[in-house]
Amino acid sequence: MAAMQASPKIPLRVIWLGSLTSVVWLCCDCARPEPVADGGVDSDADSDAPVTLDGDVSGDGQPPICDDDVCDLWPQCGCQPGEACIHLQEGGRSCVDAGSSGHGEECSGDGSDCGAGMLCTGYGDEPPYCLQYCRNDDDCSSRGQGSLCELQLQDELGHELARACSIDCDPTSSTPACAEGIHCVIFVTEDTGELFTHCVGTSGSGEAGADCEPSNGAADCQPGLFCADAGEGYECIRRCTMPEGLECSADHICRSFPEPVIIGTTEYGYCL
Q: Which of 200, 176, 196 is nearest to 188 (CA)?
A: 196
Whole-angstrom Cα distance, residue 155 to residue 162?
10
Neighbours of 236 (CB within 10 A): 22
- 215-264 pLDDT, tens digit per residue, is 998 999 999 999 999 888 999 999 999 999 999 999 999 999 999 999 99
Q: Do residues 166 and 37 make contact, with C-beta atoms less than 8 angstroms apart?
A: yes
AA identity, residue 146? G
In angstroms, how far is the first alpha carbon of the chain from the final one?
54
- 138-197 pLDDT, tens digit per residue, is 999 999 999 999 998 877 777 788 899 999 999 999 989 999 999 999 999 988 889 999
pLDDT value for 93: 86
Cis before 214 (ω within 30): no
Q: How many residues does the chain have?
A: 272
* φ, ψ of residue 196 in degrees (nearest 5): -155, 170
Whole-angstrom Cα distance, residue 214 to residue 235?
9
